[in-house]
Structure 1
């Protein structure tokens, strides 16, 4: 049993370190691009917020879980437990909202000028900053109730029923109240998930129609190459599909945790691993498909060659 917990701890440790390194590297790439004077798109601004949100998820969930598995069982501060859970929930919510906003914005961007989205193609970029700001505020307001039911193991509160998360605990209430809170907390996520699925399907349909039109046009090789908008759309579809898959798997494990008043430590640890999969994988998907990051790479290559010459 101890060896299995050690293996799980090593998996979470490796996953958290890789995820934090990947998100930090991608964020530094965008900062360097900005310093070098490259003009970033509106989608790049959304991606930067996604990176920050993913980093919050990894730091506030993965790091405490690693500390718990490898010996530091408790976070001594009751406020520390509440703050970690709150930041994790906000980061998770902003990550979901950023994927939704990214998908919807890209649908508007690549939609034909004769579509019903034509009027939004010009005005949508102006509301990206406001939308991101509202996303953060909404998640803070929705999840402000969450820390009320989180307590530290060293808290002096006399609690008879609690659910153990390893380093912190949550106070158990009646099932009806739990269901109402779960519905309140899940509504923004379900709404964003639905919009992401709709936007992903719309982008695939638009790309398919565009491909059918291009097949009827015989021109030079330059016209047959994939446009930057098409490459960006494929990247966002891939990112959204990965998010939807891991979100559904994570949701299943969250339901399993909610069914037990005292879930097993193994189930808690596995749910942490699943929840951290998307924040860990997403920066590497973006680095391998994002044209902005690729521009930075080629800029470094050019600078290295000029120094050698």
Structure 2
């Protein structure tokens, strides 16, 4: 393999090596909490769903792309390509909508009692499951064209308006379908990103106002570190990562729409950045979520003066 191919394979393998275990850890921890405590907090349920969606993204896009880079061509028939592209695109859209949902949920949660958003707080737990179902159905409907136009790689000449994903092709029958589908997806993505920025800006505003209110109070440090405030900061981190990574993804998508045949390397850039958020987000959860950290830190070894050790469970 040449150097660019080696670098491409190494970067994809790194995303897989980080993303799959990271998302599995988040899923297992919150799944365990749900089984033991019989319930998950709404925010934890959203993070659980995000981890599941991100795992799907890596499995349906990162893994096939890596296998193809390593010259594995074993299972890429048309049916498999249709399945992979549909699940990937639906998961990608669901990742965006779930990140927006998490940001909106947190903005309502930390809204002051005098805010118009405060009346939504008691209704939030009841909205979680219906919102999940609605978002999955909505994103599946907007991504259904992936089943219609995806096919396996062929040696014959492909159509003019084609996305070359290296291991599969997405062939649009005409210019109107090509640009119409691209414009619909771009509009959807911009809608999600716009409201993510709006809700995150509101969260930052509330955090800033809270800091100003407690300034000079002796217990300000304690007040600023309430669970809601810590969660709000984590959500802003999520949105920032999303906007940066998927911003590159969408700019690449816009550029590819201007080409009659988008080169495979251009789509490889999209694959990397769309998988990057799915791989990095569980690291943020593991590093910042106290529940996850407490479950991972199962035992501690404590030394006592007699040079003996005692194992203390922290479960």
- Asked if TM exceeds 0.5, the reply is yes
* 2:261 corresponding residue in structure 1: 262
Structure 1 residue ranges (4+ consecutive) displaced by more than 6 angstroms after TM superposition: none
Give the secondary structure class of the aligned counterpart of 1:217: coil
Tell me how far 1:195 sits from its aligned partner: 1.2
Tell me how far 1:7 sits from its aligned partner: 1.7
CA distance in 2, matches of 1:168, 1:74: 12
* 1:273 corresponding residue in structure 2: 272
**Equivalent residues of 2:22, 2:279 under 8 A apart:** yes
CA distance in 2, matches of 1:288, 1:60: 26
Tell me how far 1:223 sits from its aligned partner: 4.0
Q: Which has the larger helix fraction?
A: 1
**Equivalent residues of 2:76, 2:168 under 8 A apart:** no
Q: What whole-Å deviation, never above 9, does each CA across 1:195-218 have from its counterpart, x for those lacking one?
A: 111000000000000011111433
CA distance in 2, matches of 1:306, 1:82: 51
State which drifts further: 169-178 or 133-142.
169-178
1:34-49 alignment to 2 at 5 Å? 34-37=34-37, 40-49=40-49
**Equivalent residues of 2:248, 2:270 under 8 A apart:** no
* 1:249 corresponding residue in structure 2: 248
Residue segments in structure 1 that go unaligned for 5+ positions in a row:
none
1:128-167 alignment to 2 at 5 Å? 128-153=128-153, 160-161=159-160, 162-167=162-167
* 1:32 corresponding residue in structure 2: 32
State which drifts further: 262-271 or 133-142.
262-271
Give the secondary structure class of the aligned counterpart of 1:170: strand
Change over 3 Å in CA distance of 1:160–1:94 after alignment to 2: closer
TM-score (norm 1): 0.90
Size of the aligned set, in residue pairs, is 305
Tell me how far 1:84 sits from its aligned partner: 0.2
Change over 3 Å in CA distance of 1:178–1:21 after alignment to 2: same
Tell me how far 1:256 sits from its aligned partner: 2.5
State which drifts further: 185-194 or 239-248.
185-194
TM-score (norm 2): 0.89
Tell me how far 1:272 sits from its aligned partner: 1.4
* 1:287 corresponding residue in structure 2: 286
Tell me how far 1:295 sits from its aligned partner: 3.3
* 1:23 corresponding residue in structure 2: 23
CA distance in 2, matches of 1:186, 1:269: 18
CA distance in 2, matches of 1:154, 1:179: 23
CA distance in 2, matches of 1:166, 1:159: 13
* 2:236 corresponding residue in structure 1: 237
- The answer to whether structure 1 residue 305 and structure 2 residue 304 are counterparts is no
Tell me how far 1:75 sits from its aligned partner: 3.9
**Equivalent residues of 1:75, 1:154 under 8 A apart:** no
State which drifts further: 5-14 or 195-204.
5-14
**Equivalent residues of 1:74, 1:153 under 8 A apart:** no
Tell me how far 1:65 sits from its aligned partner: 0.9
Residue segments in structure 2 that go unaligned for 5+ positions in a row:
302-309
Q: What whole-Å deviation, never above 9, does each CA across 1:148-187 have from its counterpart, x for those lacking one?
A: 11111269x9955444321111214433332211222233
Please report the RMSD computed on the Cα atoms of aligned residues, expressed in angstroms. Answer: 2.5
CA distance in 1, matches of 2:103, 2:10: 34
Tell me how far 1:268 sits from its aligned partner: 2.5
Change over 3 Å in CA distance of 1:154–1:307 after alignment to 2: same
**Equivalent residues of 2:64, 2:167 under 8 A apart:** yes
* 1:118 corresponding residue in structure 2: 118
* 1:210 corresponding residue in structure 2: 210
Tell me how far 1:107 sits from its aligned partner: 0.5
* 1:84 corresponding residue in structure 2: 84
**Equivalent residues of 1:40, 1:292 under 8 A apart:** no
CA distance in 2, matches of 1:247, 1:150: 23
